Amino acid sequence: MAGIYAMDPTIQSLLGTRTFEEQFDIKEFVSSVSENLIAQSNQESGPFDPRPFIRNFEAAVDQLLAIRKDIQKKTEMLEQSVKKAEKEYSEKMVDLNSGFESVGRSFNSMESKITEVGRSAIRIGEQLESVHVSRQRAQAAYDLFDHYNQLSRGDTSSLEALKKEGKNREGTRQVAIILRRLIVVAKEVDVPGADVTREHIDKYCEKFEKDMLKLFDRYYRKGDPKMMARCAQTLLEFNGGSSCVQMYVNQHDFFISENRVQQPDDGSPLWQSLGDPYAPAPKKEPGLSAMFSQIRATVDQEAQIIQAVFPNPPIVMQVFLQRVFAQVIQQYLETVLQKASSISNLAFLRMLSVSHVQTAALVEDLKQHDLSATVMRSMTTIAQADPLAVGGMVATGTAGPFGPMLDTAMEELFVSHTEGTKYLERESKSLGEMYLNLLLRFTKYHEKASKSKTSNLYGRLVNQLATAAATSTTNSAPGSTRAQAAAAFMKFSGINAQVENEGENPIKEEDGMPSVEVAERMLKWHAEAIGRCVEMGPASEVPKNALALLRVLAEALGRSYIEVAIETAQTRLETRDTKLEPELSGLGIIRSADLICHLWQQYTNIALLPLASSSVTMRREMSIFNSQTISRVEGAANTLMQKIIDAVLAYLAFQLSKQKKNDFKPRNDDASFARVNTEPCIACCEMLDKFRDTAKENISGKNLEYLLNEIGTSFHNQLLEHLRKFSVNATGGLMLAKDLKSYQDTISSYGIPALDERYEFLRQLGNVFLVPAQTLKSYVTESYLGRIDAQLLRPYLAQRSDWNEFERGYDGEEPAAGTAEVSGRGLRERLGVSGRLAAVVRELDNLRTGDESGAGSRRNSAAVGTSSSMGFGGIDGRYNT
């Protein structure tokens, strides 16, 4: 078959192994194998002949099968070769591993031997070092005993010779060490002649120290820090260097210079306003600022010198700064505080606070000069070189923490003024003095108004200050501190002048009215005092101090200011004749009390309560105390409000009591109709208008609504009772209708819907005196009054002058003779009037007709009580500020 149908050479080339070594695609391979056959088939005509394709693919498959067999044989041969190579590799790795293990064991053995040799060498070295130290100590002890024997004979030649040996005065340092040891030995030796030797040693040591201090002073004046450092190091190793440090500090120019600030400037504007409570608190004291600037500059310079000269810089710096605080700062502070104290307590407290703030800023700046990180140049080198050095060293002191040292030094400056309750008592006293001065005219006004002796806090303070001032001025000998302070305060605050010039500047009405501006001033002073407490006191004491000062504020602002004004207003209302028009100035006091309480509450919540956040107990106590104080003021305001209401109602009742018997039963004359309203109506409306205007000026919101509603409701009840007292004829019904219309118009200006309904009912009730007798029953049953029990209306119907004539007909019985005729006549005929009176009656008839037609639209409203004791839409509430 192969010979008959030979394979196409192109296809033969595709059947090599190279075709399958690279990327192989079966579709491309099949397409390449059949490509020529497809071209031939397309060229031939006739049906498709698959045989060439079959033969071609069969030959290709046979060729591929042969190739696969060859590849499989090669693969098997290669696998056998790989197995053989892997076996040989494994055998070689085993041999190499055995060799490495043998080498490792050899190295471990060698390392063990080396370690053993090193340990032996260390033991030998330690033994040699111990022997060497022992030898040195023995040699040093021998030399020490030799010097001791020489000094026992008064011979110092060996020490003098040693001082001159060595470079850089190394011999002097050796002598210092030997002398320090000799002092220790002389104290321990107790043999005959030891006292003489001790005296010789002490004399020589004293001479040595003086010589070194002179030398240090000489180099200090020359400004040679290198030689100063050598002297300081020698003295440090001799006796700890304390004498050297003291000489350096004592002779420092800063402590002996006359150019340093030592006294406050009396001409500074600060001293003119320091004790003025109306002036802002100062931020700085000029003299203190200048002195602190000098201290900062001096410390900046001295920090470098101390580091370069002294082997123990932290100790020297602390000694220097302690001297600065104890001598320089404290002296100046005492001077300015004493000067401020002579002005007033406020001046003293302000100066104390300013000094504290500036000193705290100075301390924070000085903390940057902490030299504790500096490596202390001590006797370590000598100790290593000399085995007796450690045993004979003198304790030189250890520098404590730098920051706490400065804090302690600052605390000691102010502790005499802040210890215990001294500071808090002075703050409380200062607030009391300022509040006294501020409220003096207010207090005197209310004392005069109430005609009583001084009984409140400010009266007591006035008496105490006046007595103390008199004691201070009358005694030639120095008076008590309290008397002097009182005299100074009264002189500054002008209390003497106010007392003496009271006749020239009389107390006015405005002086007795509480003012928001005064309250703001009191809160501002209190906030300043609280700020000083936070600045001066420890954080743990701030809540307690804030509560104590809050009590002072509550006593002044609450009890002695707001409550005093309220009590005076109450007293005036209680003692004022009810026949006179009541004073409504109490509403202005209530308004001021309301604003002040809101301001006080905001101040407490924002400024005081956060200070007590660290103490839950104090915060709760402060909140309870503040709430109780506010509640007490609110209770007083509520009482005053009720007394104002009672006074207004009493005045209205008195005006109604002036109603004449014939006001609503006049004669039929033109003079009666010429009047628009009766005199009691005019007086009551004027009072209601005035009360409305005053209330709206001073009260707002629900409080205003309650207040107006209370007056309107109570006056409505008074009018209901009032209508039952007077007999009304047809002519008087016109006057009554006018009065009721005036009452209704006045109350409608209050803007209270419930009151409008009440007074509309009252006007409808007044119309029963106008309607004819024959339509009275239908008017009562079908109009606005139809919702009222008929028995409740009978007392008012009985006040009609013609009630006896048609009462039986009204109840459904036969009327008396002539009654029907009288009741059948119209209002105009019944009155028997003409002209001007007839015109008025016509207008009233039209008004009445309109009222009757409008009454039907209100029949679905709530039922109205007519009893004088019945509440009508009243607000049962309490006035709340």
Rounded Cα gap, residues 29 and 18, in angstroms? 13
Q: For the residues 336-360, what does the mean pLDDT come to?
A: 93
228-244: average pLDDT: 79
> From the centroid of its chain, how far is CA 449?
40
H/E stretch holding 819? helix 819-824
CA angle in degrees (0–180, nearest 5) for 331-336-342: 125
**Cα 777 to Cα 774: distance, rounded to the nearest angstrom:** 7
Cα–Cα distance between 439 and 753 in angstroms, integer?
Answer: 43
473: confidence class by pLDDT, cuts 50, 70, 90: very low
Q: Give the pLDDT band of residue 812 (cuts 50, 70, 90).
A: low
Closest CA relative to residue 351, chosen from 435, 261, 291, 271: 271
What are phi and psi for residue 728, nearest 5 degrees? -125, 125
If you average pLDDT over residues 811-825, what whole number do you get?
45
SS (H, E, C) 823-848: HHCCHHHHHCCCCHHHHHHHHHHHHH
Stronger pLDDT, 307 or 279, i.e. the higher one: 279
* Residue 367 in tokens: 């903390």
Let me know how long the chain is: 881
Annotate 11-22 with b (16+ C-beta within 10 A) or e (fewer).
beeebeeeeeee
Under 8 Å CB-to-CB from 690, ≥6 apart: which residues? 584
The CB density around residue 819, as the number of other CB atoms within 10 Å, is 19
**Residue in the block written with tokens 């003021």:** 633
Rounded mean pLDDT of 526-552? 92
Nearest to 705 by CA among 716, 692, 722: 692
Type of residue at 857? S
Do 769 and 733 meet the contact criterion of CB atoms below 8 Å apart?
yes
Helix 313-323 vs helix 402-418: crossing angle, to nearest 10 = 20
Burial of 578 from C-beta contacts in 10 A (0-12 / 13-18 / 19+): middle
Arithmetic mean of pLDDT, 29-34 = 76
Percent of the chain with pLDDT over 90: 31
186 — pLDDT class (breaks 50, 70, 90): confident
Model pLDDT, residue 378: 47
Q: What are phi and psi of 800, to 5 degrees?
A: -65, 135
Could you give the CA distance from residue 125 to residue 655 in angstroms, rounded to a whole number? 125
Q: How confident is the model at residue 714 (pLDDT cuts 50, 70, 90)?
A: very high
Q: Note the pLDDT of residue 811.
A: 64
Is residue 579's pLDDT more than 90?
Answer: no
Give the pLDDT score at 478: 39
Give the pLDDT band of residue 846 (cuts 50, 70, 90).
very low
- Whether 838 shows a pLDDT value over 50: the answer reads no
**Residues 21-44, mean pLDDT to the nearest whole number:** 76
pLDDT level of residue 877 (50, 70, 90 thresholds)? very low
Give the separation between CA 533 and CA 611, rounded to whole angstroms. 11
Q: Write the pLDDT tens digit of every residue in 79-138.
A: 999 999 998 999 899 989 988 888 888 899 898 989 989 888 998 988 888 888 888 778
Is 50 exceeded by the pLDDT of residue 867? no
Find the range with the poorest average confidence among 193-207, 394-408, 598-612: 394-408
Predicted pLDDT at 567: 92
What is the spatial distance between Cα 357 and Cα 13, in angstroms, rounded to a whole number? Answer: 105
Q: Is the model's pLDDT at 500 over the cut of 60?
A: no
| pLDDT at res. 172 | 76
For residue 519, give both structure tokens.
């309250």
**299: nearest Cα among 244, 355, 366, 359:** 366
481-493 helix and 422-438 helix, angle to the nearest 10 degrees: 30
> What's this model's pTM, rounded to 2 decimal places?
0.66
More confident of the two residues 806 and 556:
556
Burial of 419 (0-12, 13-18, 19+ CB in 10 A): exposed
Which amino acid belongs to residue 209?
Answer: E
Three-state DSSP at 800 gives: strand
- Output the pLDDT for position 424: 92
3-state DSSP call for residue 191?
Answer: coil
Contact by Cβ (8 Å): 223, 231: no
pLDDT-based confidence at residue 262 (cuts at 50, 70, 90)? low
Q: Are 276 and 434 in contact (CB under 8 A)?
A: no
823's CB contacts (< 8 A; 6+ apart) are 772, 773, 774, 802, 805, 806, 809, 815
Split at pLDDT 50, 70, 90, the class of 816 is: very low
Do 388 and 140 contact (CB within 8 A), yes or no?
yes
Predicted confidence band of residue 670 (pLDDT cuts 50, 70, 90): low
Q: What digits encode the pLDDT tens for the residues 719-766?
A: 999 998 888 888 888 889 999 999 999 999 999 999 999 999 999 898
- Once rounded to an integer, what is the mean pLDDT over residues 309-317? 85
Backbone CA torsion sign across 612, 613, 615, 620: positive
Give the largest Cα separation in the chain, rounded. Answer: 166
User: Which tokens hold the place of 220?
Assistant: 């200090």
Give the Cβ contact number of residue 372 at 10 Å.
15
Lowest-confidence region among 51-55, 409-413, 605-609: 51-55
391: which residues sit within 8 A by CB, 6+ positions away? 181
The CA distances from residue 703 to 313, 349, 695, 876, in Å, are 74, 43, 10, 12
Q: Residue 220's pLDDT is what? A: 78
Q: What's the whole-number mean pLDDT along residues 595-614?
A: 93
Q: How many CB atoms lie within 10 A of CB 273?
A: 16
The reported pLDDT for the residue numbered 869 is: 31
Q: Where are the alpha helices (DSSP H) in 576-615?
A: 585-603
- Look up residue 130 and give its amino acid: S
Contact 213, 241 (CB under 8 A): no
SS3 letters across 657-682: HCCCCCCCCCCCCHHHHHCCCCHHHH
873 pLDDT more than 60: no
- Of 228-237, 617-626, 845-854, the one with minimum mean pLDDT is 845-854
**Residue 731 structure tokens:** 């002519």
Q: Give the whole-angstrom CA distance, residue 845 versus residue 63.
A: 138
Helix and strand numbers (H, E) in the chain are 40, 0
- Residue 871 predicted with pLDDT over 60: no
Residue partners of 12: CB distance under 8 A and separation at least 6: 63
On average, the pLDDT of the chain sits at 78
Is the pLDDT at 550 greater than 50, yes or no? Answer: yes
